[in-house]
Each structure stands twice: as structure tokens, then as C-alpha cells.
Structure 1
Amino acid sequence: MTDRGRSRPPRRSGPASPRDDRAAAGAPPEKVAADPGLAVRKHAVDILFATLDEGRPLDQVLDHRATIPAWRALTPADRGLVRAIVSTTLRRLGLVDDALKRLMVRPLPTKAARVREILRVAATQMLFMDVPDHAAVSLATELAGRDPTTRAWKAMVNGVLRSLGREKDEILADQDATRLVTPLWLWRDWCETWGEEKARAFATAHMVEPALDLSVKSDPEGWAKRFGGRVLPTGSVRLVPHGPIDRMEGFEAGEWWVQDAAAALPVRLLGDVADREVADLCAAPGGKTAQLAVRGAEVTAVDLSPHRLERVKQKLARLRLTGVTTLAADLESWTPKAP
């Protein structure tokens, strides 16, 4: 229920957990690689489980995922879809969980954490990603049935999601969206500090898909015109995202890279770095390293994670930037060469 309540509760699909709850969370589903749709949903479930249930940082989870052959076997479009599902789920988690809660008689047990992530992935697509209800329900039900740790909840998953398909418009209309997208502790802090009106304004801003900022090798005005964006005072090109990034003009040619405008400021503040030796510490994903290399610096890119450094190398290769030294090292023990 929201704070405002409901005039009529939505139809329920039955108990949230079956009588036989012997399944244990964590085992991967079987034989999903042959079906790209299932594979995408499984990867999204795995990432959300590692982040929300195991408490691992999202960037580390994604770095590890990049080393898994099944992940590398996905097409770029499918990997992009996984990221879109994960990011949308996390951004709208309060709304997703509230919608599912309305349709369940009682909460899932702790051992059914993977079931919860299967429900979240499907509900996110149905509520916020324009995926046809029947497709989201079918894939989620199939995924639950193929995983021995979630198989006992297959019928429940199907019932809850079919109910969501019938009730979603009513639920969305009744939800206090600006409140639910914000964690309760943060909402309370905002209200105490700024008042509820400003807290709602902050929360509303969080619901808007962020703009895409690019750093370009040259001609920012020209690239802004091509993409229908604008050049910020700091030199970054800002645009509204439209389609897969790797299919945008100039990506394969290495003419630009994605980099938040704020993240691009430090290198700009260094001024002329041509022919100077510069160490970029905690270098991944490599935006600042690329900036420095474009400006003619002799760069040493240092990062603790060899996997993250691989992403830096891949970015530099796409951008046709050479002369950068990459080094996997712990900054607490690394000693740079004397200037």
C-alpha cells in the first residue's frame, strides 16, 4: 500500500512461496545460452543478485561479468540490453518492489532471493521498458523453471507476473512515484533538511534518464551538430541518448568516448600536458587517460584491477591512441619512477 491507500486492492495470484521451499538460492539456470532472450534475463538476474543480495559493488560485478565466456558470447546489443535492464531496475527499484508487493500474499523467504530478482527483472520490463507482457512473463517463467534453485516457485512467478500485466496501469496510477524511487533513509534526510517540496523535486530529477556526455578528439561543435546536442562551457558534448552507443557515428572510427562532463574537468584544469609525464591513478574506465593521451602527454595508467585495465586498453585501441603505459598495481605499494 502507498501512504494514500487504495480504493480496491489488486487481484492476487496466490501465496508468494510454495509449500515446498527446499530450493536454495544461487545456482545458475541450465542451458540458457541457446536462447538469447533467456541468456539476457539470466545475466540481468545474476548481476542484480550479486549487487542487491550479496552486497557487491556494481562496477566490480560488471568487471567480473566481462571475464565470463557466456557474457562475451552475447552480441553487443544483448549486452546493452542487460545493462539497460539492470540500470532501470536499480533506478526504479522502489516502484518495482511496491508493485510486486501488492500482488503477493506474503514476502518471499530469504532462500528465494533469486526468485525475487527474476520477478524484478520481468516487472521492470513490463512497467518501464515497453516489453510485451507475454514475452516478459514467458521468459521469467521459463527461467525460473530451468534453475533448480527457483523451480519450485515457477507457478508463483507466472501468477504474480500475469496479475501484474492486468493490474499495472492501476498500480502505477496509485503509486507515489517520487517517494518510492528514493530510499527511505534518504527521503527522510531530504525532508528534514530541505522540506518535502524540494525532496520531491530531487526525486523527480532522479527519474529522468541522464544525458549522455562525450569527450571528442576534435571539432566539438561539429559533433554536437551531428548528434543534435550542444557543447558545454567545459568543452564536452551533451546529447540525449538515442540508440546503442556502439552504433553511433564516429564510435568505430574512435572520434569520441563517453565521459561525464564533471569527470572531464580535472584534465582540463591541468592545462598544457604535451610531452609531460602524467600518472593516471585508478585509471579505469580510461576517460582521463584518453584525454591526456589526446593532449600529447606520456601517460602511465595505473589501476588495481587487471580486468578494468583491459577495458582501458580496449578503449585506447578503439580511439587509436598509442604511447600509453598500463600498469596493474596497488597504489599503497606502488612507487612511480623518479621525475
Structure 2
Amino acid sequence: MADQDGRAPRKAALDLLQGVTAEGRLLPELMAAGALSALPPEDRARAQRLAIETLRAIDRADRLLKPYLQRNPPLIVRNVLRLGVVEIVGGAAPHGVVNAMVGIVGQGKRTAQFKGLVNAVLRKVAADPAAWDKLPAPRLPGWLRQPLVAAWGRPAVETMEAVQAVAPPLDLTPKADPQAVAAAVGGIVLPTGSVRLASAGQVTALPGYDSGDWWVQDAAAALPVRLLAPKSGEKVLDLCAAPGGKTMQMAAAEASVTAIDLSEARMARVSANLARTGLTAEVIVADAMAFDRGGFDAVLLDAPCSATGTMRRHPDLPVAKDGSEFGALIAQQEVMIDHALSLLRPGGRLVFCTCSLLPDEGEVQIDEALARHPGLTVDRAALDVPGVDPAWRTEEGGLRLRPDYWADQGGMDGFYMACLTTPA
């Protein structure tokens, strides 16, 4: 049957939204499960884009809808309304959006009774488009906002929320010459050496992709390897290596790299990217905690974490999660730091990093590691990296990055990193 009113991608976007809000699943998980596999590529991209835009603006959409709803309808109807609001305020033709959303609700036995409600509410939204611009930036859910305000203060969190309300720019890590890559793709070179594009379109169509001149990596995510500063010929280990950006950075420095990750599918992508960029590394699919080959000059541990620093790119995370798993992640990080240290030669160095905004997954981990390991030291000189603002340095000797930094240029992912040195 022919698609009516562009209904298929919108229904697919609704399914994604339901997966996140009702089932607590993340978009990558839903995509890996084939959530959009029945759609042609163009509709698949449209559905994913609409779902991401709605998740990014979900708090704002709820604020706009509130005056028009005497009581909350079922979640699936609320999600239809959210999708409709985001499309309308984004410039889509209101008539087409309203017809499609009413049609989607009308298809369900349990939702058909809400056709009139969806029609009336979305028409009211369309009649006052300026109301959207008067709303504040979407707020993070309380379970996450409260600890972030406690850690960084309300003004900083409000700036983070403003940054995360906008689709982020695309950052590239050049294999060699940042200026040449920036000139080829039409981007700018950031102070830390990454190349940033305000709008990229199809990544694989950008100049230099096929020739392997660069890879996609947020500017913040590129800094842990800068702290590690691998040297030519050094034996370095990348624990939890996928998706491989840091592996490629170390390989580009001509280090002898061993990359480990538990996910076979993700490591296949690492191997493919190494081949595309003409770089080499030993790729091992294994549990990092079971790996016991020691004697490395340096280890990079990008530990499993809450990923709260990546919300500007993954707006599904604060909606799908509630923080209940963070305690287990923090305990896992502690064990992994101890294991990573055991794989170093005497006098070796470990860079521990997490893409988290929570001090318990960063600053606190370093304080506690120093207390557990007499003779272990923080290499503060490792922070002397071009482009790193001295204000990002932390009391215990690490580097704290936040989305509100470089806010006028599109921000950066939240990250924590520190370089530890074992006794000689």
C-alpha cells in the first residue's frame, strides 16, 4: 500500500520514540535490532532525524503542549503530539503534519478515540508558532540535573542545556595536517587541532573520507590520546577500544598499538576504519578484564561509564535512563583502573578517561586510585597540550571538559581524563 501523507517515516519515528520513552532502550540498540529496516534509506534517515529532534526537544514540546491538555493522554498519544509539535515548529507544512498524525492515531484500536484531540491540539500549536521561541531551553530530567547542578552550579548546567538543545557540529580528527583537512572539507581548525564543520551532510561524501585523511571524533574525545602522547615504537594498549578513534590516533603516532574490545561488531568497524585510513593495529575481540599480557609502555582506558557527557549527540540517554545503573559502572571503573595499571611496565603511564559529567566517574576515581596505589602519581605536565584552557585543569591533576565550554562554537562533549604514572 502506498504511503499516505508521508506516514511511514513518521510512524517509524514514533516507534523509536516509544522504544526510548516506554521501554528505556537507547536508539543504537533499537537501530541494531532493525527498528527501521523495513524503510527505504531516505525514509529511514528521515525517521531517525525526526526521533532525534523530538528527543532533543522533548521537555520543550511538553511545555508547549501543557496548556492544551486537561489531562495527560496515553504515552503513545503524547509521543504523537510531541512529534507533531517538533515537525510544525521546525517548518513542516502544518496541514500535512496534522493529517499524518491524526492518521497514525486513527490506525490503533486503543488510540483512535484520540483523533479529535490530536487534530485540535496540533492545529492550536500551528496557529501560534511564536510560542515555541518564547520557551526556555529543554531542561534535563531531575535525576540528572540535580547532581550536575551540585557539581558545576546552575549557570553552567543551564548553558549545557542550551548547547544540548541544538544539533551539534561535526568534528574530525586529521591523520596528519589539520589545515589541509579543514580547507578540503570547508571547516575550521579548533585550538586543540580537531577540525569542526557546522554542517556536514553525508559524512562519507566529504573530501578525504575515501582516502582516509581523517575520522569522525568529537574534539573532547581526541584529547585523551594527546595527554598520553604516544611515541613512535612504543607499546601502547587501548582497552575498550571501539569505536576506534583513539586507536587510530595512537597508530598515526606510529606507536605499536593493541586494541581490545568485547564487541565483535564494533571491532569490525575499528578494523574497517584502520584499513580506510591506512593505519595498523593489533585488533583483539576479548574481555578487557581477561587480558593479561603486560609490559606496555602506556595504556589508555576509556572506561564504560554513564555517557552523560555525550547527551548533545545522544539525546535519548537522559530520557531512557534514570541513573540506577551508575553505581555499578563506578565500581567497574575502579576495578578496571587497577587491572590497567597491572599491564604497565615500571614507570609506564595510564590515561584514564570517561565521557561523563559526574565527578564520581572522574575526579573521585583518580583520588581513590592514588589512595589505593602507593607510589602512583598524576602527571600534571601531560596536561600541557596545545589549545587546552588552564581553567579546565582540576585540583587532583586531571582535565575536566564540559558541553558549556566553547558554547559559542557548538560546545564539546563532557569528558574527564588524567594521566597516571607508575613507580619506576
Task: Check whether TM > 0.5.
Answer: yes
- Does residue 32 of structure 2 align to residue 105 of structure 1? no
With over 3 angstroms needed to count, the CA separation of the structure-2 counterparts of 1:304 and 1:227, relative to structure 1, is same
Partner in structure 2 of residue 122 of structure 1: 84
Correspondent of 1:172 among 117, 129, 132: 132
Against the structure 1 CA distance between its residues 194 and 232, is the aligned structure 2 distance closer, same or farther, given a 3 Å change threshold? closer
In structure 1, C-alpha distance between the alignment counterparts of 2:76 and 2:253, rounded to whole Å: 47
Unaligned ranges ≥5, structure 2: 296-424
Inter-CA distance 168–254: structure 2 relative to 1 (3 Å threshold): same
The whole-number CA distance in structure 2 between the counterparts of 1:147 and 1:74 is 24
CA contact (8 A) 1:91 1:207 kept: yes
The structure 2 residue matched to 1:52, chosen from 21, 29, 54, is 21
The equivalent of 2:314 in structure 1 is none
Task: Report the Cα distance in structure 2 between the residues aligned to 1:272 and 1:292, rounded to whole angstroms.
Answer: 6
Q: Confirm or deny that 1:90 pairs with 2:55.
A: yes
**What is the deviation of 1:107?**
0.5
C-alpha deviation, 1:236, in angstroms = 1.0
Q: Look up the match of 1:245.
A: 203
Who is 1:143 aligned against? 104
Provide the residue aligned with 1:214 in structure 2: 172
Matched residues in 2 for 1:130 and 1:245: separation?
25
- State the TM-score, normalized to the length of structure 2: 0.59
How far apart, in 2, do the equivalents of 1:276 and 1:318 lie? Answer: 23
CA distance in 1, matches of 2:63, 2:125: 11
Aligned residue for 1:162?
123
CA deviation vs aligned residue, 1:33-78 (integer Å, no higher than 9, x gap): x67944432332233222222223x3xx414413428438542x54
Where do 5+ consecutive residues of structure 1 fail to align?
A: 1-30
For residues 107 and 67 of structure 1, do their structure 2 counterparts lie closer, same or farther at Cα, with a shift above 3 Å needed?
Answer: closer
Describe the superposition over 1:291-336 as per-residue Cα deviations: whole angstroms up to 9, x where unpaired.
2333334444333333433443444454454554241x3334x224
Displacement, 1:194? 7.9
Provide the residue aligned with 1:18 in structure 2.
Answer: none
Aligned pair count?
295
Deviation sequence 1:119-156 (CA, Å, 0-9, x none):
222221222x3222233223323333344554443443
Q: How does 1:302-317 map to 2 (within 5 A)?
A: 302-317=260-275
Taking only the aligned residue pairs, the percentage that are identical comes to 37
Is the 8 Å Cα contact of residues 182 and 203 (structure 1) preserved in structure 2?
Answer: yes
Among 293, 296, 312, the alignment partner of 1:337 is 293
Amino acid at match of 1:43: A
Distance (Å, rounded) in 2 between the aligned partners of 1:301 and 1:35: 48
Amino acid at match of 2:81: L
Going from structure 1 to structure 2, the CA distance change for 1:107 and 1:41 (only over 3 Å counts) comes to same
Deviation per CA, 1:185-238, whole angstroms, max 9, x where unpaired? Answer: 666777788887666545434434433211012221012223443222322112
Question: Contact 1:93–1:181 (CA<8 Å) still a contact in 2?
Answer: no
Q: Secondary structure at the match of 2:37?
A: helix
Distance, in Å, in 2 between the alignment partners of 1:322 and 1:290 is 8
